[in-house]
Amino acid sequence: MWGILKEVKCRLCEKHYKSKNQTAPDSVESVGHIQCYCPALERPRIAIHHGIWRELMFSIRKSSTELNEKKEPKWCFPSALSPEAHEEWGMTKILEFMGLHEVLPLGQGANREKLKKDVRDYHTAHGIEISESDIHTFLARRPDRLAFDKENKLCVFLEFTRAMDTDEDWAIRKEGEKNGRYGTHLGFFNYLCRREKKGWKVSQTNFTVGVRGSLHTNQFLDRLELLGVKNKNTREVIRKQTVQKTLSMSDMILKFFFAAPGRKNQQPHSL
Ligand SMILES: [Zn+2]
């Protein structure tokens, strides 16, 4: 099923850029391009990302049975409850939850100014130039999901990626890219936690699955366990489900590609 496609300029790209009066870059029509990069397939790709992640997150939430000392569930996943909750849990809401920022009613924007100043100062202290719109972008970021352990004051940004599993290093490379995305946020949050003596620790955990269904098995299972999925068999079931779901979703992207107009009757070299 997964062969090498003939290396030609991507027809969907040509059409996509033409409609914007731009020249298409020399994208080749490879599996990686179709699965991960082709701008013409961005919408189905986003839908697929959400589809796999929603199912994985549902399983984690349902199976996270570890209890804390008060015999309550150790982990909570507030932004996983609904699309609305996910919308709501941006950077300011996370800071508010940890007692690092007070969200005031509309019109009383002074605390927002204070937060912006903190963001600016933190970047300046680290030799990073930051404009007003960069600050806005920084605060508008939203992790895929969040996990909190209130007793131990742990906040974990959860990120999910479906990546092209071309070579042996793909998972390590993707891990680096993902961590880079929130590196400054984690630094900033942990700096505020120390400064305000709130005792929270903020970190990031990634779940990465290759489009061909490969994943770093031990790491994947360990991360499920870290989030309170104590039952070994359940972890294994979640892993298998995620791989299956990813494979069927990757297959769906290919179907989108071949069904898209503008491809004439061209057949791939091998598939
Ligand atoms: Zn393309």
Kindly give the distance from the C-alpha atom of residue 169 to the centroid of ligand 1, in angstroms, as a whole number.
Answer: 24
Query: 66 CB contacts (<8 Å, ≥6 apart)?
Result: 73, 74, 75, 228, 229, 230
Does some domain include residue 266? no
Share of the chain above pLDDT 70, in %: 89
Kindly give the distance from the C-alpha atom of residue 33 to the centroid of ligand 1, in angstroms, as a whole number.
Answer: 6
pLDDT of 110 reads 66
**Bridging pattern class, strands 154-163 and 201-210:** parallel
Contact 173, 216 (CB under 8 A): no
Contact 79, 146 (CB under 8 A): yes
Q: Using pLDDT thresholds of 50, 70 and 90, give the confidence band for residue 24.
A: confident
Does some domain include residue 114? no
Does some domain include residue 49? yes
Kindly give the distance from the C-alpha atom of residue 26 to the centroid of ligand 1, in angstroms, as a whole number.
Answer: 9
Q: Which residue is it, tokens 């955990």?
A: 205
Query: Which of 20-24, 133-137, 138-142 comes out lowest in average pLDDT?
Result: 20-24
Please give the Cα distance from 9 to 35 (Å, whole number): 15
Does some domain include residue 84? yes
Helix (H, G, I), strand (E, B) or coil at 71: coil
Kindly give the distance from the C-alpha atom of residue 270 to the centroid of ligand 1, in angstroms, as a whole number.
Answer: 18
Question: Average pLDDT in the 149-161 region?
Answer: 95
CA distances from 244 to 93, 105, 189, 207, 248 (A): 34, 45, 36, 15, 6
Does some domain include residue 63? yes
Query: Which of 78-92, 106-120, 240-254 comes out lowest in average pLDDT?
Result: 106-120
Q: What does the mean pLDDT of the chain come to?
A: 87
* Token pair listed for 54: 């929603």
Kindly give the distance from the C-alpha atom of residue 170 to the centroid of ligand 1, in angstroms, as a whole number.
Answer: 21
pLDDT of 7 reads 55
C-alpha 241, offset from chain centre: 19
* Token pair listed for 157: 């940004």
Nearest to 142 by CA among 50, 65, 74: 50
pLDDT of 1 reads 45
Q: Which residue is it, tokens 């709130």?
A: 198
Q: Quickly count: other Cβ atoms within 10 Å of residue 133's Cβ.
A: 8
Range of the domain at 148: 11-89+142-259
Does some domain include residue 164? yes
Q: What is the sign of the dihedral through the CA atoms of 26, 29, 34 and 39? A: positive
Does some domain include residue 197? yes
The domain total for the chain is 1
pTM for this model (two decimals): 0.86
Nearest to 46 by CA among 209, 244, 253, 245: 253
Kindly give the distance from the C-alpha atom of residue 34 to the centroid of ligand 1, in angstroms, as a whole number.
Answer: 6
Does some domain include residue 239? yes
Kindly give the distance from the C-alpha atom of residue 46 to the centroid of ligand 1, in angstroms, as a whole number.
Answer: 15
- Please report which residue ranges of the chain form alpha helices under DSSP H: 11-18, 31-32, 42-63, 83-88, 91-97, 110-125, 132-140, 170-195, 217-226, 232-259
